Amino acid sequence: MKAEANSKPKHACRNPRQSRERILESALKEFAAKGFAGARVDCIARQARINKRMLYHYFGDKEGLFREVLRRKMAERAAWLASAPEDPIERLPYWFDLAFRDRDWIRLLEWESLQWGEDRIIDEEHRTRAFANANDRIRRLQEKGRLDSDFNSGQLILSMMALTAYPLAFPQLARLATGLAVSDPKFKHQYEKFLRQFAAAFKPGNKNSNAGGKTVK
Amino acid sequence: MKAEANSKPKHACRNPRQSRERILESALKEFAAKGFAGARVDCIARQARINKRMLYHYFGDKEGLFREVLRRKMAERAAWLASAPEDPIERLPYWFDLAFRDRDWIRLLEWESLQWGEDRIIDEEHRTRAFANANDRIRRLQEKGRLDSDFNSGQLILSMMALTAYPLAFPQLARLATGLAVSDPKFKHQYEKFLRQFAAAFKPGNKNSNAGGKTVK
DNA sequence: ATTTCAAGTAACTTGACAGTTACTTCGCTT
DNA sequence: AAGCGAAGTAACTGTCAAGTTACTTGAAAT
């Protein structure tokens, strides 16, 4: 309200919203880079240009901050997943591009899996819903005959994530296998092409694709 | 000091070899579980039933120990990779089974990628050789016509690793996608079946499988 | 048997880091 | 304009963990 004509805003005045935002932003960087155990609270606070005490004020403790960072990132990405192109052949390179552009996301997923394994999934409800939608989409494609329906839709999603995220999650292995650094533009080009070839093999009509399907063991 | 006539071999005498071995063993467990930053040197020493000082004696520092643990694990696994079945359809479930049986290995790879990214690959020379062999094997299969030769062999290896290791590296995503816990025997069964179906789509003769590209550069 | 050196130990140093205390400043409400 | 609670700060605390010191013990070589 009232304007305070020439009050010098030495501390840029108060702005809890923005402070919170800055903390989350620098926490994302720190956690993505060093993980939970490796991250330094003081470092996050310094980078956010706030006092450490405020960080504890907003997020309780280090783990609370980590969980909040993850929660937000997941929510952000869930929307992206839904926005994939219909064409199954273009979907893989599209997902790869998403992952390529946001390594922090991939790294957070990695830290999450190492820290908590398959139990205690963060923001489980929300993510479960996102996956259910993705499943439905796949099944609709299968019904329309644009995707082979021999495959279990959940497994298909899993394998698609595998193909698009793996080289980014394990860049050292990608380099050993292909001889190219993942950050090399050539790698990106080559891999996207590969993914298209790959997806093409799943167009229905390839009718030997149930070879393994009947019996196992 | 003084003689202590009937010196009982209270410390089970000296055995540097075994001590080293015990350190490496408990270090593997600790690092796989908590990563480099999260692991506690005192904890490793206690579990190995040696004095911390000896650990520093043998391995210099914490990082030296970590690198040695990784080096040994990699060497161990390299041999396994080479022993995969010829049949491309059985190779994926075989690799999956290997990974399934040794989660510590997968976790170490994850920690490695997070800690050092694509540079500073540990034991690079040795691993490069192992990958070169794998590449040769793929190409031989392609020449024999048992695998589609449109695909770049390095990328093929990468994608095969992706398909076999991803659910184990990201168990939380596997569960969200399929509804089954990775450690659930049902998951293993279902996923191995899926991998066979998947591989079958790559048998040559599926001749729409070059949709994405003419030649790989 | 004496030397010698690797194997082994307990106690310590040093620094770092998560979390806290005790306090001040701002701005809004009444 | 007084008071109140949220926003903010500097300095502190207790703990923990990596790495070291200064020592002892064992056994093999001389």
For tokens 């391995």, the residue is B59
Q: CA-to-CA distance for B150 and A198, rounded, in angstroms?
A: 10
Report residues 35-54 of A contacting strand D, contact meaning Cβ closer than 7 Å: 50-54
CB contact under 8 A, B112 and A158: no
The mean of the pLDDT values for chain B is 86
Nearest to B209 among A114, A173, A200 (CB): A200
**Average pLDDT rounded to a whole number, residues B106-128:** 92
User: Which pLDDT score is estimated for B9?
Assistant: 40
What is the pLDDT, as a whole number, of residue B18?
87
The predicted structure's pLDDT at residue B197:
92
Written as one letter, the residue type at B12 is A
B41 touches strand D (CB under 7 A): yes
Taking the CA of residue A17 and the nearest CA in chain B, the distance in Å comes to 31
Tokens 């093929």 — which residue? B156
Tell me what the mean pLDDT of segment B33-55 comes to. 95
Residues of chain A with confidence (pLDDT) below 50: 1-11, 207-217
Measured from Cα to the C1' atom, the residue closest to D20 is B53
The reported pTM is 0.87
H/E element, B85: none
- Given this model, what pLDDT does residue B21 score? 94
Q: How far is B12 from chain A (nearest CA, A)?
A: 36
What integer pLDDT is reported at residue B12 of this predicted model? 52
Q: What share of chain B is helix, strand, coil (3-state, %, to 5)?
A: 70, 0, 30
Please name the residue whose C-alpha is nearest to the C1' of nucleotide D9.
Answer: A51
For residue B177, what are the CA distances in angstroms to A57, A130, A168? Answer: 36, 10, 20
Rg (CA), chain A: 22
Q: What percent of chain B has pLDDT over 70?
A: 87
Q: CB contact, 8 Å: A216 with chain B? A: yes
pLDDT (0 to 100) of residue A14: 66
Helix (H) or strand (E) holding A91: helix A88-101
Q: Which residue has the higher pLDDT, B191 or A79?
A: B191
Nucleotide nearest B40, from its CA to each C1': D17
Task: For residue range B147-163, list pLDDT tens digits in order.
Answer: 888 899 999 999 999 99
Inspect the interface and report whether the beta carbons of B167 and A162 lie closer than 8 Å: yes
